[in-house]
Structure 1
Amino acid sequence: MKRLAISTACVAFAILGGVAQAFTKELKISLFAPPTHTWAKALSAWGKELEKRTNGELTAALFPAGQMGPVNKQMDLVRAGVADVAVVLHGAYPGRFDLSELSQLPFTFGKRDKIATRGSVALTGMLPQLQEEHSGLKVLYLAISPSTAIFFNNAEVDSVNKMVGLRVRGGSQIQNLILEAWGAAPVSVAPAELSDSLQKGVIDGASFNFEAAAAFRMDEVVKSVTPIAFTAASFSVVMNQDVYDGLSDEQRKAIDETTGEAGARSVGTLFDTAEEGGRAVFDGAGVKIQTISDEAYKGFVDAASGVTESVLAQRETTGRQARSFYARLLEETAK
């Protein structure tokens, strides 16, 4: 009888121990951007919040700077289970995100304030229309960067006619179309290679926002910036569906409560705040930030006006209802 009691206790201990182990999970988060980028700061903070909400049963390990794979392989990493969560830059997947990347159309957000917050919340609220583009993955939320400027190694551009012939890195197909409309020659360069490419003169300029440019240390190689706020990068934060489904109720609740609109608003706010700090970095480095007159700004807008209609018309042919989606995006971001 004593032996039975001991055996029963051992079995109970083994079962309880197994349960405790089964409900402890470390999420592997892949990020193409460096550890100084706002994405890295946001995801690190999210991991700590998950750990706090689950009493340590759900933690996160961040792998920044493309440690798990390059920018255009982030979705594959999550699908294959190499990473549990990743940030997907839509522009790195030409032809994949027909609707998600419409936020990149020229001057979509104009000169509004808090663009990253407005855009991130708006795009996340339209997720049901975007789920097909993320088939097989759980989308935690979507995000928009602050508006993009153009950073030059030597050229000083304060009007659209000065863009002619310049080799400029664009972050997506849409950005490349805008650059072409201005007479520039779009060049494909990975974010991690931008500073080196600018320094060596492989390219003349690059479209980026201030926060990201500072994170990639572009303040060390550029001499002027043209702050025309002409587009914005778009992202998805995605998770392996099987990993999510395998979590405990408490762990899934912690994720649900910190993603969706809440996650989009949090990241958007961080981006908007960091953009001010990023601009200060370039000011402090003595980089000339051009003053763009209203007339010159109108010149950039007018020259790129045909891009919006061309893209919407092309994507309507795929049955994606691009026009109605874009109209709603404009309406939501204006709130």
Structure 2
Amino acid sequence: MTNFTRRSVMAGIGAAVALPAYLKKANAAEVTLKLHAMLPAPAPMNTQFFEPWIKEIQDASNGAIAVQLYPSMQLGGKPPQLADQVRQGICDITWTLPVYTPDRFPVAETLALPFMVTNAEKTSVVMHKLMDEFGQGEYDGIKTLAFHTHDGGKLHTRNGLIKTTEDLKGLKLRAPNQATGELLASLGAETVFFPVTEMVVGLSNGVIDGCCLPYEVVPAFKLQELTKFTSAPAPAERGLYANTFALIMNQRAYEGLSDDLRGVIDAHSGMALSERIGKQFDTFEAKGKQVVIDQGNTIGEIPSETLSEWREKAAPIYDKWIEKLNASGHDGAAIVARANALLDGAA
């Protein structure tokens, strides 16, 4: 073997030794992470977010990380159990709503109060900042990957637009969470709480007159066929409500990865991911609205003066929430004030 050849071989060996572990095992997964999801496989959250995100992680790790998606609660249990499932290691990653376990993650629930949403992208960034500043201890023992919200909810009804408080009186409405239900009840509506999957039956048989949901939910449940009117806040106003979401990972699964592979997870999580999911939900929202338009339904605007009246009615709900945050060891007034400031554009 010539000196040139020998040097080339040795250099190649040295380079191989220097490569990160995941590059030396291209296309051979070192670890497979189980992602447990509540929605059916065809849901846009799975096909348009999770599947591309999973592929990005796989490609960035050169195949060393595989993520297996289990939709429709295939690993068992019910959606409110997902946070515990990831903590216990039943799954490695999950996507869940803090409101599914009321009062357990109060900082993360704060933006689910009425009128705490602009659009999904901006409000998701606000939520991530709020959690960084006040909510780090809420997910103790869990690796948090992203936080986000959907766009503001609208009132979808069978028999007429909602433009005044009087229009709500006596309406039977399915509420999306406890705080929004309290607000609607204070305005004269009769609110009921049941899973969104039961909402279709309720609208079909007349048990409820409408519901409060974002447009993005419309296509999945064919709300454009079950309701004929949508009432949305005036464009300059905040949305009626938004539920909050957390993308979380088992801490032991994260810490068990090599430094290189933890770096891959870190590069595909955090503030940028929260913003990205929020932007994705704004896209879902636009598509849902177009479905309503194409159906020929009537879309109306809830005037600013009506919304001002409703926001005054929401004041006791905020006070009650501040007390709840205080009881959890937080400065409730500071959290709510900071959330409002961020929504209004503070840095």
TM-score over 0.5 (shorter chain): yes
The residue type equivalent to 1:48 in the other structure is K
Give the corresponding residue for 2:33.
Answer: 27
Aligned pair 1:168/2:173, yes or no?
Answer: yes
Q: Which runs of 5+ in 1 are unaligned?
A: 1-15
Tell me the matched-pair count: 314
Give the corresponding residue for 2:164.
Answer: 159
Per-residue Cα deviation, 1:57-108 (whole angstroms, up to 9, x for no partner): 1122222233333221211221232221111112211121222111122222
The residue type equivalent to 1:162 in the other structure is D
Q: Within 5 Å, which residues of 2 pair with 1:238-317?
A: 238-317=248-327
Give the corresponding residue for 1:83.
Answer: 91
The residue type equivalent to 1:125 in the other structure is K
Q: Is the 8 A contact 2:124 2:147 kept in 1?
A: yes
Using the aligned pairs only, state the percent identity.
27
The residue type equivalent to 2:338 in the other structure is R
Give the corresponding residue for 1:142.
Answer: 147
Give the corresponding residue for 2:224.
Answer: 219
Give the corresponding residue for 1:66.
Answer: 73
Per-residue Cα deviation, 1:25-51 (whole angstroms, up to 9, x for no partner): 222212223345443221111101001
Determine the C-alpha separation between the residues in 1 that align with 2:176 and 2:135.
20
Aligned with 1:121 (options 122, 125, 140): 125
Aligned with 1:181 (options 186, 192, 199): 186
Length-normalised TM-score, structure 2? 0.83
Per-residue Cα deviation, 1:151-198 (whole angstroms, up to 9, x for no partner): 223453222222222222222221222122212222222123322322
SS of residue in 2 equivalent to 1:277: helix
The residue type equivalent to 1:177 in the other structure is E
Q: How far did residue 324 of structure 1 move?
A: 0.5
Aligned pair 1:194/2:199, yes or no?
Answer: yes
Determine the C-alpha separation between the residues in 2 that align with 1:301 and 1:232.
15
SS of residue in 1 equivalent to 2:267: helix
Change (3 A) 1:222 1:65: farther
Give the corresponding residue for 1:3.
Answer: none
Aligned with 2:52 (options 33, 45, 52): 45
Determine the C-alpha separation between the residues in 2 that align with 1:221 and 1:105.
27
Change (3 A) 1:156 1:65: farther
Aligned pair 1:93/2:135, yes or no?
Answer: no
The residue type equivalent to 1:46 in the other structure is W
Q: Is the 8 A contact 2:36 2:71 kept in 1?
A: yes
Q: How far did residue 333 of structure 1 move?
A: 2.7
Per-residue Cα deviation, 1:6-43 (whole angstroms, up to 9, x for no partner): xxxxxxxxxx9xx9599522222122233454432211
SS of residue in 1 equivalent to 2:85: helix
Give the corresponding residue for 1:332.
Answer: 342
Q: How far did residue 137 of structure 1 move?
A: 1.4
SS of residue in 2 equivalent to 1:99: helix
Change (3 A) 1:22 1:80: farther
Which moved further from structure 2: 325-334 or 125-134?
125-134
SS of residue in 2 equivalent to 1:290: strand
Q: Is the 8 A contact 1:92 1:171 kept in 2?
A: no
Determine the C-alpha separation between the residues in 1 that align with 2:103 and 2:296.
39
Q: How far did residue 226 of structure 1 move?
A: 1.8
Determine the C-alpha separation between the residues in 1 that align with 2:255 and 2:221.
36
Q: Is the 8 A contact 2:116 2:343 kept in 1?
A: no
Q: Is the 8 A contact 1:37 1:212 kept in 2?
A: no
Q: Is the 8 A contact 1:91 1:234 kept in 2?
A: yes
SS of residue in 1 equivalent to 2:39: coil
Q: Is the 8 A contact 2:107 2:131 kept in 1?
A: no
Determine the C-alpha separation between the residues in 1 that align with 2:225 and 2:258.
47
Aligned pair 1:206/2:214, yes or no?
Answer: no
Give the corresponding residue for 1:230.
Answer: 240
